[in-house]
Amino acid sequence: MSALLGVRPSAVNAQGVDPLPCPSHTPTMRVALAQINTTVGDFEGNRARIEAAYRRARSAGADLVMTPELALAGYPPRDLLERRGFAEACGSALRALAAVTTDGGGLLVGVVAPNDNKVGRPVFNSAALLADGVVTDIVHKSLLPTYDVFDEARYFEAGNAEQLRPLAFRGRSLGVTLCEDLWNDPGFWDARLYALDPARKLAEAGADVLLNLSASPFHLGKGHLRRRMLSALAKSHGLPVLQCNLVGGNDDLVFDGGSLALGSDGSLQALGTAFTEDLVLVDLDSPKPTLEIPSPPPHAEQAARAVVLGIRDYFEKCGFQRAVIGLSGGIDSAVTAALAARALGSENVTGITMPSRYSSTGSVEDSRSLASLLGIPFHVIPVGPAHDAYHSMLSHLWASADLEDTSMAGLTDQNIQARIRGNILMAWSNRTGALVLSTGNKSELAVGYCTLYGDMAGGLAAISDLPKTLVYEVARWLNQSAETIPEATLTKPPSAELAPDQLDTDSLPPYEQLDPILHGYLEEGWDAEAIIKNTGADPATVHRILHMVDRNEFKRRQAAPGLRVTSKAFGQGRRYPVAARFNS
């Protein structure tokens, strides 16, 4: 480890930490929480971002600067960690980064550290303390989550419990932890996942402050939970707690920042801005007036801000500049377009409406009105000619297969229309380089009310974790300051308009009834009996909906990546088998 990371040997004991006891007098220290937005694998870019935050913090008088978890490597690196060169590149970047600390300050940065032992995973999830131009100490993450979107035990070796000793820095005794290490307080959680309690061990070993480098992904209400949990932890140990949390979008995950400082009595001393980069300065011995722990914003606002950030970073980090969206005149495509325009700029979002023989005049006009309100380029491409051509081609196919009915009625005809639209959007994408944003919501994806290679086509499923009722709430939130979503789009009954006089309620319960069932099944983990008891829903409806969710797993496996907004999203956080026979 020392050779690769450049750790100063004289500062490290056999466990890789400095066990010096906390002195009786603790000098004043100003700590900066560098809440930055990093990109996975962009070691040079991340290093430059960390350096810029460090210099800014030092100019403001900070003695120690903290970054989020794995800030130098980006989070989550996933299977890139299995590449031998990944940890080596992180080590090189770390040694270069250390040079910034020759000005007398300290930098606590999240890194991938190699495991030089013959046993265990090849790397650690670590925090490196840089000072005087070198790496002085390394602390490894002890608790590796494997639930929901996390799979850290797949890649990382857990830190040795004996290593949990405070680090001595500028006369202070720093209890350094990484994210999950603090999510195990027996005084807060009814049930704990781990026997080890790193916070308690550090407190008992003489830490005078707990520092936490975090990459805690967003879901609705997560920021408020984080603040309450860490407040209880600070009060339990009688120690200040400082957490520096990641901000930004990486693939399907959005990180909301909200870095914070809590006094030893659990009081909130400082709070970083949500959903944007921030630099939070904390004077450990001159606490600011206590802040009231804020109530979480409405779910609609949280969801909108998360999706905007997720879209913006997905495009920037993947190298896309423009988006194209199929506008149906309905609420889902309208909200997707509005959020995309906020994320990318109106000039970079194109709307295409593709009416069929079943589309109402209002749908085209509502799409046109939306485009005008958003200021986005707009095109109308009727799908009738292609639809007629499919009818002609496929009627010959049905006849040659000796099918009695050679018509295109029913589901086949509906899916053909959706796939024609998907082809048009993908053609625009190929021609212009714009990324297609699919517009399906969580309710539709859950029950399979969507068409493979049709309305599911795209490179990012922006609102795929927003239930339909939440999509309406987001639309109303967007309309608070000025009309963004046409009123007609908000008030008309939802319809795919793929058949005469079609409404969503022809196939599904009203969304006000459907979404509580889906919430109970997907997010709460309830079985049918519990859903019926807790929601009062009709038993036959509950069993039908759960069956629809289970049998449509194959569709969701082929969906574009979706931005996580709820506590249990499809994709990385919900891994159900396609071939299975188990009735919930």
Q: Which of 515, 507, 500, 522 is nearest to 576 (CA)?
A: 522
Cβ(65)–Cβ(105) below 8 Å = yes
The Cβ of residue 435 has, within 10 Å, a number of other Cβ atoms equal to 23
Q: Is the pLDDT of residue 377 over 80?
A: yes
Cβ(362)–Cβ(438) below 8 Å = no
Report the distance separating Cα 409 and Cα 415, nearest Å: 10
Write the pLDDT tens digit of every residue in 320-357: 999 999 999 999 999 999 999 999 999 999 999 999 88
Write the pLDDT tens digit of every residue in 519-542: 999 999 999 999 999 999 999 999
Report the distance separating Cα 549 and Cα 448, nearest Å: 7
| pLDDT band per the 50, 70, 90 thresholds, residue 399 | confident
| pLDDT band per the 50, 70, 90 thresholds, residue 496 | low
Q: Is the pLDDT of residue 400 over 60?
A: yes
Task: Note the pLDDT of residue 6.
Answer: 52
Q: Is the pLDDT of residue 21 over 50?
A: no
Report the distance separating Cα 294 and Cα 298, nearest Å: 12
The DSSP secondary structure of 132-178, one letter per residue, reads: TTEEEEEEE------STT--GGGTBPPPPGGG--PEEETTEEEEEEE
Of 302-306, 350-354, 515-519, 575-579, where does mean pLDDT reach its minimum?
A: 575-579
Q: What size, in residues, is the chain?
A: 584
Q: Is the pLDDT of residue 1 over 50?
A: no
Q: What is the DSSP letter of 343?
A: H
Tell me which of 90, 179, 244, 450 is the catalytic residue. Answer: 179
State the chain's maximal CA–CA distance in angstroms: 92
Cβ(17)–Cβ(167) below 8 Å = yes
Write the pLDDT tens digit of every residue in 136-159: 999 999 999 999 999 999 999 999
Report the distance separating Cα 272 and Cα 34, nearest Å: 9
Task: Note the pLDDT of residue 26.
Answer: 56
Q: What is the DSSP letter of 421?
A: H
Burial of residue 200, with CB atoms counted within 10 A of its CB: 0-12 exposed, 13-18 middle, 19 or more buried:
middle
Q: Is the pLDDT of residue 288 over 60?
A: yes
Say how many Å lie between the first and final Cα of the chain, rounded. 49
Tell me which of 22, 69, 201, 473 is the catalytic residue. Answer: 69
Cβ(369)–Cβ(334) below 8 Å = no
The Cβ of residue 566 has, within 10 Å, a number of other Cβ atoms equal to 21
The Cβ of residue 297 has, within 10 Å, a number of other Cβ atoms equal to 16
Provide the whole-model pTM: 0.91
- Looking at every residue in the chain, the average pLDDT score rounds to 91
Cβ(36)–Cβ(50) below 8 Å = yes
Could you tell me the strand order of the sheet in which 64-66 lies?
134-140, 123-131, 106-114, 64-66, 30-35, 278-283
Q: Which CATH architecture has domain 301-493?
A: 3-Layer(aba) Sandwich (3.40)
Task: Note the pLDDT of residue 155.
Answer: 95
Q: Is the pLDDT of residue 23 over 60?
A: no
CB neighbour list of residue 430: distance below 8 Å, 6 or more residues apart? none
Burial of residue 206, with CB atoms counted within 10 A of its CB: 0-12 exposed, 13-18 middle, 19 or more buried:
middle
Q: Any catalytic annotation for residue 179?
A: yes
Q: Any catalytic annotation for residue 235?
A: no
- Per-residue pLDDT, averaged over 291-302, amounts to 87
Write the pLDDT tens digit of every residue in 420-462: 999 999 999 999 999 999 999 999 999 999 999 999 999 999 9
Task: Note the pLDDT of residue 251.
Answer: 96
Report the distance separating Cα 301 and Cα 332, nearest Å: 16
Look at residue 350 and give its three-state secondary structure. strand
Look at residue 378 and give its three-state secondary structure. strand
Cβ(328)–Cβ(353) below 8 Å = yes
- Per-residue pLDDT, averaged over 272-280, amounts to 96
Of 63-77, 138-152, 382-396, where does mean pLDDT reach its minimum?
A: 382-396
Q: Could you tell me the two tokens for 323? A: 């988006």
Look at residue 394 and give its three-state secondary structure. helix
Class of domain 29-283: alpha beta
Q: Could you tell me the two tokens for 129? A: 């303390």
Residues above pLDDT 90, as percent of the chain: 78
Residues above pLDDT 70, as percent of the chain: 94
Tell me which of 22, 90, 141, 317 is the catalytic residue. Answer: 141
Q: Which stretch of DSSP H or E encloses residue 395?
A: helix 384-400
Domain boundaries, the chain: 29-283, 301-493
Report the distance separating Cα 68 and Cα 127, nearest Å: 9
More confident residue, 545 or 160: 545
Q: Is the pLDDT of residue 229 over 60?
A: yes
- Per-residue pLDDT, averaged over 154-174, amounts to 92
Amino acid identity, position 458 = G
Write the pLDDT tens digit of every residue in 356-374: 888 777 889 999 999 999 9
More confident residue, 485 or 4: 485
* Pairing state between β 241-245 and 247-250: unpaired
Q: Which of 296, 303, 357, 370 is nearest to 330 (CA)?
A: 370
Q: Any catalytic annotation for residue 69?
A: yes
Q: Could you tell me the two tokens for 54? A: 């460090």
Q: What is the DSSP letter of 251?
A: T
Task: Note the pLDDT of residue 5.
Answer: 56
